[in-house]
């Protein structure tokens, strides 16, 4: 029962996952086409997604209004303002590290860490992320919310492969 934990996320060339105000307009404004094969490969191997409330709200209000994209998976939304749970949506105030450790201890497919930064940093620091798929969007934001905020490191990774597809750079890492 050692489920793989995958961070699959988009980042600007200068390392930001969102603009300074938290918006993700740079993802929509950049005329890029996501590598459907890479994304579908991810969806086929996961049954669980973990995300913060801000990321969840951006998904349901901006990126996919009225069409939550992860209906096939169980979603754990980490928030200090829990909402009503459903069969596939679980709102929790549990610490990200404890949540992921608990999820890894039960049978299932891989776990996707969707974002944001406050969820990612403690998981990196605890070395709980097994695979990193970082898609670099060809834009420099200058300031914003960094993909990796400060944490006690280092965490050693190895580069598994780098692909360039539709103007995006996909870098695949795994922990050593």
pLDDT tens digits for range 51-94: 999 889 888 887 778 788 899 999 999 999 888 999 999 999 99
Cross-strand bridge partners of residue 146: 16
Q: Of 145, 79, 72, 140, which Cα lies nearest the Cα of 109?
A: 72
In 12-137, alpha helices (H): 25-29, 36-45, 53-58, 96-104, 117-125
Whether the model clears a pTM of 0.85, i.e. scores above it, the answer is yes
Phi/psi at 41 (5° precision): -60, -45
108-150 pLDDT tens trace:
999 999 988 889 999 999 999 999 999 999 999 999 999 998 8
Phi/psi at 117 (5° precision): -55, -40
Q: What angle do CA 47, 4, 32 make, to 5 degrees?
A: 70
Alpha-carbon span 84 to 125, nearest angstrom: 30
């Amino acid at each position: 029962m050692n489920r793989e934990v995958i961070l699959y996320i988009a980042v600007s060339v200068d390392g930001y996952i969102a603009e300074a105000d938290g918006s993700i307009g740079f993802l929509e404004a950049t005329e890029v086409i996501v590598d459907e094969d890479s994304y579908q490969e991810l969806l086929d191997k996961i049954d669980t997604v973990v995300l913060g409330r801000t990321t969840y709200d951006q998904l349901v209000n901006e990126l996919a209004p009225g069409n939550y994209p992860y209906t096939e998976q169980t979603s754990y939304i980490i928030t200090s303002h829990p909402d009503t749970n459903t069969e596939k949506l679980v709102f929790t105030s549990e610490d990200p590290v404890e949540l992921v450790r608990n999820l890894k201890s039960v049978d299932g497919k891989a776990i996707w860490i969707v974002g944001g930064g406050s969820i990612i940093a403690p998981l990196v620091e605890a070395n709980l992320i097994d695979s990193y798929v970082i898609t670099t969007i060809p834009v420099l934001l200058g300031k914003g919310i960094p993909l990796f905020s400060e944490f006690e490191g280092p965490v050693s990774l190895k580069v598994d492969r780098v692909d360039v597809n539709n103007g995006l750079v996909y870098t695949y890492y795994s922990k050593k």
